[in-house]
Amino acid sequence: DITGANAAAEANEGGNRKVSTELIAREVKRRRTFGIISHPDAGKTTLTEKLLLFSGAIQLAGTVKARKSGRHATSDWMEIEKQRGISVASSVMQFEYRDHVVNLLDTPGHQDFSEDTYRVLTAVDSALMVIDAAKGVEEQTIKLLNVCRMRNTPIITFMNKMDRETRDPLELLDELESVLKIQCAPVTWPIGMGKNFRGVYHLLRDEIMLFKAGEERADGNVEIIKGIDNPKLVEMFPLEIEQLKMEVELVHGASHPFNLDDFLAGIQTPVFFGSAINNFGVREILNALLDWAPAPGGRDATVRSVTPTEEPFSGFVFKIQANMDPAHRDRIAFLRVCSGRFERGMKLKHLRLNRDIKVSSVVTFMASSREQVEEAYAGDIIGLPNHGNMQIGDSFSEGEMLQFTGIPYFAPDFFRVARIRNPLKIKQLHKGLQQLGEEGAVQVFKPVTGSDLILGAVGVLQFEVVASRLLNEYGVDAVFEGTSISSARWITCDDKKKLADFEKSSAGANLAVDAAGNLAYLASSGVNLRLTQERWPEVVFHATREHA
Ligand code: GDP
């Protein structure tokens, strides 16, 4: 592509941008970008906070938790607030640990926001799965793990809350293997549980780490006893140590030894036991992330795959968050850097608009604040402030026309018609829905006939969020009414004439255009959808779509 090459050359002339490939390679190698997945209440927030405390990124316990408004959800509404509390304030956190740069991405736990979660997981290289050891595998755990599996994302497992009465650890592993269909390789093994929780045995290092309760210990220093046969242990807790020896024998016989390649292929997960609230087992998790989890890898784009160490900058937007800070009314596009080096003041090519943009005040997300980005490399997440010209899935480069693939939208399952009480606010309604649609908070369809706007969601809580945000952020009091629509499919057709025929036919009355300008068919029932598909074999009906 000649235009692309020219633009890249131009950008390079712009300043002293002689970046050595070695520097980029070095920076990429020391990066880890991961997401935490869990069923609500398993301890994701607590663990996040301990990871930040442990790495020294924050000093005070309670910093993350304080952002989470409403500890106990008393209504759906509170649940939304709680969800937004997490995802708004701390959806991306960067910190350094052991000379590594760690990017931690939060994912909404509630299933109604699974679409958002899915897209966040397209931006990570590994995931940390938190399981409440008293409950085992829960519904959301299964869904999120399946999402990770689509890209074979390597997963580290943390069995949390060992300071409580939990399920039998062997049974937990068994459940993980049978329900989640993933091999388990225990790395640490619990000694007792609840009141008798003594610590964990590190199976690879033959060391015992003694448990001491205490929420505020940031250093995570634990007493270590070398060797499972150490006579000291029998003196300390004779009963538990006998049990441990038996279990370890069983574990060695019945489970898989840790294998790095299997972990990286997403076939096997190393399992750690601990207690997030007591900051116990957190260091092992961090070390596993740095030692075993992969550095940023290559990414597929339409024209070719992109290697993280190549010199030209590239990246894609996986999330948009508007009005993060009500005082600033801003709109931030979260971009995952895929290659090269981002520098402050750099000119970027917005590929969908085929336009150079100069992004000012690009931000990075430190654990407790937002800061100006000086530089960023593959795996880093940077925030691009914008006024609505950026969408989820947009790619940016230094000129080359490459569109990153694999950032999906899912056909919604729930539909509503948006109406307003005050007709004078129609403009604000459209503006608000357009922006919320671009943000991915809800999908917005404009039927080709008629003037109503149709909203589509993967989970019904999304409607509540949208209604409340329309009111708070756009001053629009909207009501969402039921519709006869039961499903939506995006439409493509290679044959232009056939498509025109389709649009003119009776089925054409069911067509609508989404926020990104894509044509969609809104079916009144499963039968209607099937019949239409049968009648128009040349037209392709898509249940997911990638970026326009
Ligand atoms: P999230 O919904 O997954 O983010 O879960 P939270 O981090 O908010 O934790 C849910 C509840 O479990 C809170 O009341 C925590 O204090 C509690 N919790 C978290 N980790 C532990 C732990 O290791 N032991 C015990 N006993 N409770 C914990």
pLDDT reported for residue 85: 42
* Residue of 320, 329, 296 whose CA lies nearest to 310: 296
> Looking at 87-96, 111-120, 189-198, 375-384, which range is the least confident one?
87-96
Structure tokens at 286: 């961090």
Which positions ≥6 away from 412 have C-beta within 8 Å?
443, 456, 457, 458, 488
> Looking at 71-80, 384-393, 453-462, which range is the least confident one?
71-80
Tell me how far CA of residue 50 lies from CA of 105, 257, 283, in angstroms: 15, 28, 9
Query: What is the chain's percent helix, strand, coil content, to nearest 5?
Result: 35, 30, 35
Q: How far apart are CA 18 and CA 386, in angstroms?
A: 28
Q: How far apart are CA 206 and CA 300, in angstroms?
A: 41
* Residue of 488, 485, 490, 489 whose CA lies nearest to 524: 485
Tell me how far CA of residue 497 lies from CA of 334, 501, 503, 521, 532, in angstroms: 39, 6, 10, 17, 17
Residue reference for tokens 């250093």:
219
Asked whether 408 and 294 are in contact (CB, 8 A), the reply is no
CA of 43 to the centre of ligand 1 (A): 4
Stretch 271-299: mean pLDDT: 95
pLDDT reported for residue 527: 95
Q: Is 148 in the pocket of ligand 1 (CB under 6 A)?
A: no
pLDDT digits 0-9 by tens, 213-264: 875 555 567 889 999 999 999 898 888 899 999 999 999 888 899 999 999 9
* Residue of 147, 441, 494 whose CA lies nearest to 321: 441
pLDDT reported for residue 215: 58
Q: Is 42 in the pocket of ligand 1 (CB under 6 A)?
A: yes
Which positions ≥6 away from 427 have C-beta within 8 Å?
none
Q: Please give the residue that has the higher pLDDT: either 51 or 90.
A: 51
DSSP assignments along 132-171, one per residue: ETTT-S-HHHHHHHHHHHHTT--EEEEEE-TTS----HHH
Amino acid making up residue 5:
A
Say whether 308 counts as a known binding-site residue: no
Q: Whose CA is nearest to atom 10 of ligand 1?
A: 41
User: Is residue 324 over pLDDT 70?
Assistant: no
User: Is residue 69 over pLDDT 60?
Assistant: no
DSSP assignments along 188-234, one per residue: EEEES-GGG--EEEETTTTEEEEP---TT-SS----EEE-TT-HHHH
Q: What is the pTM of this model?
A: 0.82
Stretch 277-295: mean pLDDT: 94
User: Is residue 63 over pLDDT 70?
Assistant: no
CA of 132 to the centre of ligand 1 (A): 8
Q: Please give the residue that has the higher pLDDT: either 324 or 479.
A: 479
Structure tokens at 337: 């850097």
What ligand 1 atom has the least distance to the C-alpha of 164?
Answer: 26
Stretch 536-543: mean pLDDT: 94
Pocket test for ligand 1, best of 41, 84, 111, 130 (most atoms within 8 A of CB): 41
User: Is residue 42 over pLDDT 60?
Assistant: yes
Q: Is 311 in the pocket of ligand 1 (CB under 6 A)?
A: no
Q: Whose CA is nearest to atom 25 of ligand 1?
A: 161
pLDDT reported for residue 418: 93
Stretch 457-471: mean pLDDT: 87
Amino acid making up residue 442:
V
Q: Is 114 in the pocket of ligand 1 (CB under 6 A)?
A: no
CA of 295 to the centre of ligand 1 (A): 29
Q: Is 274 in the pocket of ligand 1 (CB under 6 A)?
A: no
**Range with the largest mean pLDDT of 55-69, 453-467, 526-540:** 526-540
Say whether 150 counts as a known binding-site residue: no
Pocket test for ligand 1, best of 110, 277, 282 (most atoms within 8 A of CB): 277
Q: How far apart are CA 437 and CA 459, in angstroms?
A: 15
Q: Residue 77 — very low, low, confident or very high, per pLDDT cuts 50/70/90?
A: very low
pLDDT digits 0-9 by tens, 115-144: 778 889 999 999 999 999 999 999 888 888
pLDDT reported for residue 238: 87
Residue reference for tokens 């633009």:
7
CA 496 to chain CA centroid, Å, is 37
Say whether 161 counts as a known binding-site residue: yes
- Report the 3 state secondary structure along 471-533: HHHHCCCEEEEECCCCEEEEEECCCHHHHHHHHHCHHHHHEEEECCCCEEEEECCHHHHHHHH
Q: Please give the residue that has the higher pLDDT: either 12 or 305.
A: 305
pLDDT reported for residue 323: 63
Q: Is 469 in the pocket of ligand 1 (CB under 6 A)?
A: no
Pocket test for ligand 1, best of 37, 39, 46, 273 (most atoms within 8 A of CB): 46
CA of 56 to the centre of ligand 1 (A): 21
Say whether 330 counts as a known binding-site residue: no
What ligand 1 atom has the least distance to the C-alpha of 49?
Answer: 7
pLDDT digits 0-9 by tens, 150-177: 889 999 999 999 999 999 999 999 999 9
The H-or-E segment that residue 308 falls in is none
CA of 42 to the centre of ligand 1 (A): 6
CA of 399 to the centre of ligand 1 (A): 46
CA of 46 to the centre of ligand 1 (A): 6
User: Is residue 28 over pLDDT 60?
Assistant: yes
Q: Residue 418: left if φ>0, alpha if ψ -120 to 50, beta else—which one?
A: beta
* Residue of 23, 12, 9, 1 whose CA lies nearest to 309: 23
pLDDT digits 0-9 by tens, 341-392: 998 888 999 998 999 988 777 877 765 566 777 889 999 999 888 877 888 8
User: Is residue 526 over pLDDT 80?
Assistant: yes
Stretch 522-535: mean pLDDT: 95
pLDDT reported for residue 389: 83
Tell me how far CA of residue 217 lies from CA of 61, 108, 135, 448, in angstroms: 9, 27, 26, 60
Q: How far apart are CA 107 and CA 125, in angstroms?
A: 14
User: Is residue 110 over pLDDT 80?
Assistant: no
Q: How far apart are CA 6 and CA 64, in angstroms?
A: 46
Q: Please give the residue that has the higher pLDDT: either 12 or 69.
A: 12
User: Is residue 495 over pLDDT 80?
Assistant: yes
The percent of residues in the chain predicted with pLDDT above 70, rounded, is 85
pLDDT reported for residue 154: 98
Asked whether 165 and 193 are in contact (CB, 8 A), the reply is yes
Amino acid making up residue 364:
T
The percent of residues in the chain predicted with pLDDT above 90, rounded, is 55
CA of 47 to the centre of ligand 1 (A): 8
Q: Is 44 in the pocket of ligand 1 (CB under 6 A)?
A: yes
Q: Is 394 in the pocket of ligand 1 (CB under 6 A)?
A: no
Amino acid making up residue 167:
R
pLDDT reported for residue 397: 95
Q: Is 40 in the pocket of ligand 1 (CB under 6 A)?
A: yes
Q: Residue 89 — very low, low, confident or very high, per pLDDT cuts 50/70/90?
A: very low
pLDDT reported for residue 2: 42
pLDDT reported for residue 58: 66
Quote ipTM for the complex: 0.99
